[in-house]
Structures are given as structure tokens and as C-alpha cells.
Structure 1
């Protein structure tokens, strides 16, 4: 037998034995059961509170949806008889009850209303079904990015005829999305995983987009000698019927067109070939000054727009039909944008 001698400090327990000893530390099963029962009682209270919150969100969703369906031409109430539409509606309600995000609610309502107008199983109907599902997995950051890309890259405003109108377009249709766009690459990766688009190696330069779509109100213009140097002999005056004083300098000239395609459509009787017209248009486009010099004095947040475009993956992100549908719906919510969605999804 071995002598054993132990000393224990205050508050400690000393154990000794002549063979192995099993020591049980921590909570007993009875104590753990008591804690879990108490937690269950607390959870039931939380469940009741969550149910109340969910009911409030569902009421908000229904109210907004019914308001939209009450507007003539915005939606088709008969769609409620369609099982596929009912499934979409139920799924959307449950998703909003979980998120509670008003941006999600309003975007879903717009998608649902647009979906109700599709009476058959069209590609657009399927895209809108998918868009409603994907939209609930996005944040305000992704909504803003999809809308800015959609408006800037996939749409053209045909009612712009002056530089002032172009400035209003930028201020009212592009700038509102800038503040919500995330600069994190993970935001764009998330949109890609939700089938809203793909990150491309190619880049869409914002200035190039403006020059292509609205060049006719951006160029300073050319003089007569410059014009004639870009026209072949015998056609020096062929452009006369298509010229106006420059919008920026009345002493200069410019084509009476907002884009090259518009110029081509007007030039059928000039006798100029497409290449000859392109030469004149290129001359005019070359007089467009850097837009960061042209716009900031007029649009205070323009530099923020160019900064977020140039320094995030906005310029690299190509939208899928689902991304277009969500970007379209959110643009309608934020800036009141409205155009037939079947222009892009057919």
C-alpha cells in the first residue's frame, strides 16, 4: 500500500484512490433538461412574436399587391386561377415573410404583376418565375447593381434631344442607384451564383456607352472645312440636309441625329455610302470632350457614378434574362422606369 498525501487549496476538491477513478465534471442530465425546458418556454414566446411579425409582413405584401392589381393594365386578376401563378404567389409571400425587406416586397410585387400578364407558358413567364425566386436571395446592393447595369447598358432613351436632357437622364436614371452599390467582389459573385449574370473579361466603358447612345448631344462639332475633308469629291454638299448648328457651339456644325443608326435612317437620299456616313460620324464623335470635364459642373454626383463603375465589376457584368427582369423591376421601383420587358426577353 502506498502512502498518499494531498493538500488542496481553498474551494478545491481533493480526490485520491488506490485505483482508477472516474470524475464527472459539468452539468448533470437533470440540469441540462431543466435548461432546455426553460429555453423551450422562451422559444414559444419568440414563435408567437415571430408569427405576429410574419402576419404583419404578409398583410403588407397583400396590400401592395392588391393596390398594383387595382391599377388598370398593370396586372391580370384572372392569373389567380392559374396553378403555376398560385405557386409563384405563395412562394413569394413566404419569402417576403422571412425577409421583411420593403425593396424585396416591391420588386416581387412588380415581377408578380408582370407575370400575371403572361397567359401562356412563354419564355418570359418562365424567366419571371425564376426572377421572383432569385430576387428574395438578393440585397439592396445587388438590386442597385442590376438596375444600374440594366439601364446604362441595355436601354436607350429616345426622347433625349438636348445636352440638358442628357444631364437630367444621368441625374435621374443612373445616379439614384450609386449609393447602394457594394464595392465588394463577393456581391457580384453572389449575383452570378443566383444566375443574374456572369463576370466577363470584357469591359463596358461608361463613356463609350454614352457616346454610342447619346453622342448627338455630346459633341462640340466641326467646321465646314473639316466636314468636306471627310467627304469624297462630288459629295461635299451631300450632308447639307442633315446638318444643324452644334448644340454646344453655334459657330460649328453637327449631324442632326442622336446616334449613327438614326443618321443612317435619315441619309437614304444623300447618295452617301455607309462608310462615308461613318467617316462623318467619326469626325463628330472625335469632338466629344472627356465626359468628366463635361458633366461634373452640372451633375454633382457624376464622379461617384464613374468611380463606382470603373472600380467595381459593374463594367464586367453581363446580365442574363433573370438579371434583366430583376433590374427592370427594381428600376421601376426606384426611378419609375417603365418599358415593355418583352423587348429584352422574348
Structure 2
């Protein structure tokens, strides 16, 4: 399944009716996917799955029912479009009662709220759920997430997403600090203006079963220095690299000073992976780790560079340990599911959900 990036909610002001303009409104590709996987036109599919929530909506006043009815259609349009663009095969899961119930619950939550932010996260949770085995841990977590996410504010959603992106994801593929800052600008910066800053929001999330207070990861600068030392070394002299290591690992001009050199391995995770694969002995792994940690920038230098290269993160970096609990809040499977879905909706999820929760 292709991983998406931030996407725009499509506001619909009237019921989507079949007619000669139907495919122009929905798009031929989306109409094809819906028909191919459900046997229905886009319009008929919206009408059919709107019935899932209509019985619940009948309990409301006539004025409220009108709003709910319109919002249900709006939610379905966005869901079908998103599902068709990300994972068309997932549309077949709508024949499953488990998926139908999840869709009904998501429709009602959006219909009673009308929040586009909530709608986006619910849609992405459904898209993720559509290709999961119903008895898997990830399906259970996603199902719980659909029921819990309406109880969260946007600051809670962004907090979960920042924790997923900064603390819980290891970026071994970063080969330069330019790639690192480009990635952070795509994933974290769009969320950095609204997050839980204080204990009450974290206790609320803990009470909902999204996480708990664990061990502190320290400052972001210290965490990144430990994980990606090769991106922050100022380089070493060629003669400082032992011959046996030079024969094992590619040597490149130092990323921060071309007058010096460094090993091409930039992260501790890459060193560990090479040791596990048998490419390095344990002893070689320890020596390589020591080499890539030589002549590092200071924590203060890293922090100042972060603020300069990704200005949107400045307040978040200050709040990380001083006024928030992001540095010590560990996530449950449901917390991962919600944080990942909000990343998909608002910015860009760096890796698939099954990296965090087994599928």
C-alpha cells in the first residue's frame, strides 16, 4: 500500500447525485475503483453506505438530521476518494461486517462533529484498517482508535504524531543533514505549532489508553546526536581510520568539512544492522561506532542548527523537555495508530504503520 502525504479534505455543499456529470465530479479513476471493488457506482455506494448511519441519525431532531445526513455523504465522498487513491483493493473489505461497523462509527463521529480535521484522521484510520486481518493487533488498535480519536483535541493528535516521528522512528536512510532537515520540514514542522504543553493533556491521553510515562529520551539534540552521529561529525583525518575498518566501510569527504573525511555510515542503527547481518564483527561494530562519534558538534550547536534550518520547530524544541512530556511519553498500539493517521492526514508519515504495529 502506498504511503500518502498530507491531503486536503473536500467540502461538499450538496448531496452527490448520479448523472451525466458524476464521473467529472468524482474522477474517472476513482469511479472505476469504486465500481470495480464494490460492484456499485460511486453514487450508489454513497447511498448504500450512508444507510449504515441513517438509523442512528433518525434519533435526532429534523434540523440535526439534515446536517448529519449531509455530513455523512461528505465523509463518504472523502473516504472513497482517499481509499481509491491510496489502496483501491481495500474497498473490497466493505463487505466485511467488521469494516462496515467501523465505517458506520466513523461516519457518525464526523457527522455529529463536522470537524474536517477529525474527518481526515478517521478516513486514514479506515484506509489503514481496510487491509488488516481482523484478529491482528493492528486491526484491534485501529478499531479502538476510531472510537477514541473523537475524544482528542488537535493538540493531542499532533503530540502523538510528533512522538511517532521524532522518538519512535529511526531514519537509517538519511545520508546527509540536508536530507534530515528536508524530512523534518515535511513531517514534524507542519505539526509544531499546536501540541500538548503541560501534564493535563498527557494524563488525558494516558487515561484513554494511548500511552504512559516512561523513561526520558532527553533533549532532541542529544537524542539525534546518539542516533545519527555521522550527520553531526565535523570529520576526522584519513590516518585516524584503522586499515581494517577502511577496507570494510566506504570513506567519504566529511559532510561538514570537505578537508576531512568520515565513514559513509551515518547512524548507529545502520551499524547495528550490519553487525546483525554478519557484515561486521561485534568488535568492528564497536570500533565503527566510536569512529562515527568522533569530533561531534555539541548539543548546543545541534539545537541552534535545528532552529536555524527548521524555524517552525523552535518552540517545540524548547517545550520538548522543559514544559511538555513528549520526551517521556511512551505510546501504546492505539497511540501509534492515531499518531500515524494524523501524520498521514496533516504532513507525511515516514514509514508504514506496520513498522510500529505488526500487521
How far the C-alpha of 1:73 sits from its partner, in A, is 2.5
Aligned equivalent of 2:267, options 214, 234, 259: 259
Equivalent residue for 2:345, pick from 333, 343, 346: 333
Q: Report the count of equivalent residues.
A: 293
2:109 aligned residue: 95
Instruction: Give, in whole Å, the separation in 1 of the partners of 2:86 and 2:198.
Output: 41
Distance 1:275 1:71 in 2: 45
- Structure 2 CA distance for aligned equivalents of residues 161 and 147 of structure 1: 24
Give the Cα–Cα distance (whole angstroms) in 1 for the partners of residues 89 and 71 of structure 2. 22
* Aligned residue number for residue 203 of structure 2: 189
Contact 1:75 1:113 in 2 (8 A): no
Query: Which protein is bigger by CA-based radius of gyration?
Result: 1
Q: Per the alignment, in what secondary structure is the counterpart of residue 330 of structure 2?
A: strand
Query: Structure 1 residue 238 and structure 2 residue 244: aligned?
Result: yes
The unaligned stretches of length 5 or more in structure 2 are 1-59
Q: 2:4 — aligned with what?
A: none
Distance of 1:328 and 1:344 partners within structure 2: 9
Residue 298 of structure 1: aligned partner: 309
Query: 1:126-163: per-residue Cα shift (whole Å, max 9, x none)?
Result: 11111111111111111100000001111133442122
Preserved CA contact (<8 Å) 1:220 1:288: no
Give the alignment's TM-score, normalised by structure 1. 0.77
Q: Distance in 1 between matches of 2:136 and 2:281?
A: 44
Alpha carbons of 1:75 and 1:184: their partners in 2 closer, same or farther (altered >3 Å)? farther
TM-superposed CA distance for 1:118, in Å, is 1.7
Q: Secondary structure at the match of 1:221?
A: coil
Aligned residue in 2 for 1:282: 293
In 1, distance between residues paired with 2:299 and 2:324? 25
Q: Is the 8 A contact 2:172 2:267 kept in 1?
A: no
Change (3 A) 1:269 1:297: closer
State the Cα distance separating 1:105 from its structure 2 match. 0.8
Q: Secondary structure at the match of 1:65?
A: helix
Gaps of 5+ in 1: 1-45, 229-235
Q: Does 1:343 align with 2:343?
A: no
Secondary structure of residue in 1 paired with 2:205:
helix
- The question of whether the paired residues in 1 share the 8 Å contact of 2:98 and 2:134 is answered with no
Q: Distance in 2 between matches of 1:71 and 1:52?
A: 29
**2-structure distance, mates of 1:159, 1:239:** 21
Aligned mates of 1:287, 1:202 — CA distance in 2 = 20
| Length-normalised TM-score, structure 2 | 0.74
Report 1:160-179 matches (<5 A). 160-179=174-193
Corresponding residue for residue 110 of structure 1: 124
Contact kept, 8 Å, 2:118 with 2:150, in 1: the verdict is: yes
1:115–1:338 Cα change, 3 Å: farther
Alignment of 1:101-250 (within 5 A): 101-224=115-238, 227=240, 236-241=242-247, 242=249, 243-250=251-258
Q: Encode CA deviations 1:28-67: one digit per residue, 9 max, x unaligned.
A: xxxxxxxxxxxxxxxxxx9333222222221211111111
Corresponding residue number in structure 2 for 1:317: 329
When residues 254 and 287 of structure 1 are mapped into structure 2, their CA distance, relative to the original with a 3 A threshold, is farther
1:100–1:257 CA distance, 2 compared to 1 (3 A): same
Against the structure 1 CA distance between its residues 74 and 210, is the aligned structure 2 distance closer, same or farther, given a 3 Å change threshold? farther
Larger relative contact order (C-alpha < 8 A, sep ≥ 6)? 2
Give the RMSD, CA atoms, in angstroms: 2.5
More displaced 10-residue stretch of structure 1: 312-321 or 236-245: 236-245
Contact 2:129 2:139 in 1 (8 A): yes
Q: CA deviation at 1:78?
A: 2.2
After superposing on structure 2, the runs of 4+ consecutive aligned residues of structure 1 that deviate more than 4 Å are 269-272, 284-289
